[in-house]
Amino acid sequence: MPRFLVGLDRNERYMRQAQKDTSLELVLGDATSIPFRDESFGFVLCNDVLEHVRDQVKLMQELLRVLARNGAAYVQCANKHQIIEPHFLLPFLSWIPRPLANIYVKIARKGKNYEGYFPKTRNSVLALVNNYRTVDLTYERTLMKIKGLNIQSNVLLGIVSVARKIFSDQFIATLAQNFSIVSILVFKD
């Protein structure tokens, strides 16, 4: 298998911008129909993409199709139960029904609507790859964020700072992992 790095995006404007800043081979294409042969890559990185794709089952099938035997895929995505939704930084946005979320985004002056976002719960993401050996890294990622106080929302940063005076970082991470960005490693044995 040849060694090469490829970036894939379906937005031509983003591709043009990325070409200015990288030496990667960039390919215009859709992640639900990846334009590469089966088992083309030893490692696949799918970072903050899953929640933007309506057909998430097809996306995962494609990632695993282009992943070589004995390869690994790292998938990180927004969690439907994140307290602060990461794209609009609004509390509980992804928890509420879509019509109300659209109104919320508009009233908060964060955009026109909440269309194009399809966050899943941690368990739903894991269910997409339940036939593969998987390591759920969500707890470890959450623990790192807590220990480093690397938290984007000032409200959550304040809550975690107070909680750390009462509870251990490990205890907070155990609770928070169901409300944190989902991070998994999938192996194709």
| 153-183 per-position pLDDT tens digit | 788 888 889 999 999 999 999 999 999 999 9
Query: 1 pLDDT exceeds 80?
Result: no
- pTM attached to this predicted model: 0.89
pLDDT above 70: percentage of residues in the chain: 98
- Domain span at residue 20 reads 1-30
| Predicted local confidence at residue 182, as pLDDT | 97
Range of lowest pLDDT (47-51, 74-78, 139-143, 150-154): 150-154
List Cβ neighbours of 167 (8 Å cut-off, separation of 6 or more).
none
19 within some domain: yes
Query: Does residue 37 register a pLDDT over 90?
Result: yes
For residue 137, being part of any structural domain is answered with: no
Domain count for the chain: 1
Q: Report the distance separating Cα 31 and Cα 73, nearest Å.
A: 14
Residue 43 lies in a domain: no
The answer to whether 48 and 167 have CB atoms below 8 angstroms apart is no
The first and second tokens of residue 137, run together, are: 């890294």
In a domain, 1, yes or no: yes
63 domain-assigned: no
Question: Does 8 reside within a domain?
Answer: yes
Please tell me the predicted confidence (pLDDT) of residue 2: 55
Burial class (CB in 10 A: 0-12, 13-18, 19+), 125: buried
CA-closest candidate to residue 118, choices 93, 151, 91: 93
The answer to whether residue 20 sits within a structural domain is yes
Quote the percentage of the chain above a pLDDT of 90.
Answer: 75
CA dist., res. 172 & res. 159, Å (int):
11
Residue 17 within a domain: yes
Average pLDDT for 85-101? 95
